[in-house]
Chains A and B, each alone.
Chain A
Amino acid sequence: GAVVSQHPSWVICKSGTSVKIECRSLDFQATTMFWYRQFPKQSLMLMATSNEGSKATYEQGVEKDKFLINHASLTLSTLTVTSAHPEDSSFYICSAAPARAHLNTEAFFGQGTRLTVV
């Protein structure tokens, strides 16, 4: 299957600082990427959908100014958590798709990033 690489796999940052997480599709061009957040023992919750070359679409309740998404190329999307606070500590996971294809077939996920804000 297709490979999606996420970096870093874990990060610890101080409260008030910003953290950038990268998501790369290694063997296909991803016109659409999805960012999820997962708290312990809970489901993956979609935060936003990003399409290459256009603004991301955020889910209800997700602050777009706090979670900045950039999808400047067909192989890279970044999520920046700005002014991070301890409540932002979570497991962040990206998913990539060639188009809306993954809605009709399997989705390809990165390995996730564990963010801890201290």
Chain B
Amino acid sequence: SQKIEQNSEALNIQEGKTATLTCNYTNYSPAYLQWYRQDPGRGPVFLLLIRENEKEKRKERLKVTFDTTLKQSLFHITASQPADSATYLCALVGDYKLSFGAGTTVTVRA
């Protein structure tokens, strides 16, 4: 069966450090992978999309890598700030629908 696993449920880091989140998938052959941010009691907000032929994508302090051989994506938040505290979800398209991992909740301490 298809699975999307995000490595940890929660990640606590000090302000200014880099947060690294992992997304592993099985039984998907995605042409691309997406990352979303979800704040408590809110819907997800799109952050980044990376295609299978792209190794790395950046947007401001965010960096995403995509390794289709390892079936893994890494999501980095550099120079983290308390405002980055949220749950981050990875998402893949399979069978014409978007499927999500359970998310990793990041808490950045000032």
Residues B98 and A106 in contact, CB atoms below 8 Å apart: no
Residues A44 and B44 in contact, CB atoms below 8 Å apart: yes
Kindly identify which residue among A4, A105, A111 contacts B49, using a CB–CB cutoff of 8 Å.
Answer: A105
The yes or no answer to A34 lying at the interface (CB within 8 A) is: yes
Kindly identify which residue among B9, B44, B98, B101 contacts A46, using a CB–CB cutoff of 8 Å.
Answer: B98
Residues A100 and B96 in contact, CB atoms below 8 Å apart: yes
Kindly identify which residue among A43, A93, A100, A105 contacts B43, using a CB–CB cutoff of 8 Å.
Answer: A93
In the bound complex, CA of A102 to CA of B42 (Å)? 19
Chain B residues positioned under 8 Å from A103 (CB to CB): 93, 96-98
The yes or no answer to A114 lying at the interface (CB within 8 A) is: yes
In the bound complex, CA of A16 to CA of B43 (Å)? 27
Interface mask (B66-110 → A, CB under 8 Å = 1, otherwise 0): 000000000000000000000001010100111111110000000
In the bound complex, CA of A23 to CA of B98 (Å)? 18
Chain B residues positioned under 8 Å from A109 (CB to CB): 43-45
Tell me how many residues of B have a C-beta within 8 Å of chain A: 22
Number of A-B contacts (CB under 8 A): 54
Distance between B77 CB and nearest chain A CB, rounded to angstroms: 19
- What secondary structure prevails in chain B residues at the interface with A? strand
Chain A residues positioned under 8 Å from B43 (CB to CB): 4, 6, 93, 95, 109-112
Closest CB pairs A-B (n = 5): A109-B43, A106-B46, A43-B102, A44-B100, A43-B100
Residues A114 and B46 in contact, CB atoms below 8 Å apart: no
Q: Which residue of B lies closest to A103 (CB)?
A: B93
The yes or no answer to B18 lying at the interface (CB within 8 A) is: no
Chain B residues positioned under 8 Å from A91 (CB to CB): 41
Kindly identify which residue among B41, B89, B98, B99 contacts A102, using a CB–CB cutoff of 8 Å.
Answer: B98
The yes or no answer to B34 lying at the interface (CB within 8 A) is: yes
Between A and B, 28 residue pairs with Cβ closer than 8 Å are A1-B46, A4-B43, A6-B43, A34-B97, A41-B102, A42-B102, A43-B89, A43-B100, A43-B103, A44-B89, A46-B99, A49-B97, A93-B43, A93-B44, A103-B93, A106-B34, A106-B46, A106-B49, A107-B34, A107-B44, A107-B46, A107-B91, A107-B98, A109-B44, A111-B42, A112-B41, A112-B42, A112-B43
